[in-house]
Amino acid sequence: MPRRVTRPPRGVTLIELVIAITILSIGTLAAMRALDAAQRGIGDQTARTLAHQVALNRAAELRLHGLEAGRELPAQVEMGPFTWTVEIAESETEGGLIAADIRVTTPDRPGARLVATVSASPGP
């Protein structure tokens, strides 16, 4: 009786294919979650930048017009696609200046806080 020659199996078995697809799927999901987190961080950065710019603008207005005139500035400011609420808390420093704590907020977005020193009277 002739001897049968057995060849080693060629190709990929079904279980190897399932394991490979599972590993690739897990890697793809992890990459997509990282991309989503990065996009959220970048999206919030736009709001932070706009809020900081609103705070810088308000500090410049306070320095230019003085604190008394600054109290009459609007509490709502439109910049970009947002309407920002600007709140100012005042405290006197030892040097006779006023520390204006400027907080800029909008719903569901990060805001900004800036402390600026201004004189009670308008600048030069």
Global pTM value: 0.63
Residue 25's pLDDT band, with cuts at 50, 70 and 90, is very high
| DSSP secondary structure code for residue 121 in this structure | S
The closest of 111, 115, 121 to 99, measured between CA atoms, is: 115
Q: Which residues pair with 85 in a beta bridge?
A: 76, 105
pLDDT tens, residue by residue, 56-93: 999 998 888 877 777 788 889 999 889 999 999 888 88
Domain assignments of the chain as residue spans, ordered by start: 14-118
Q: Output 123 or 104, whichever has higher pLDDT.
A: 104
Task: Show the tokens assigned to 29.
Answer: 């999901």
Round to whole Å and give the CA distance between 22 and 89: 56
Give percent above pLDDT 90 in the chain.
40
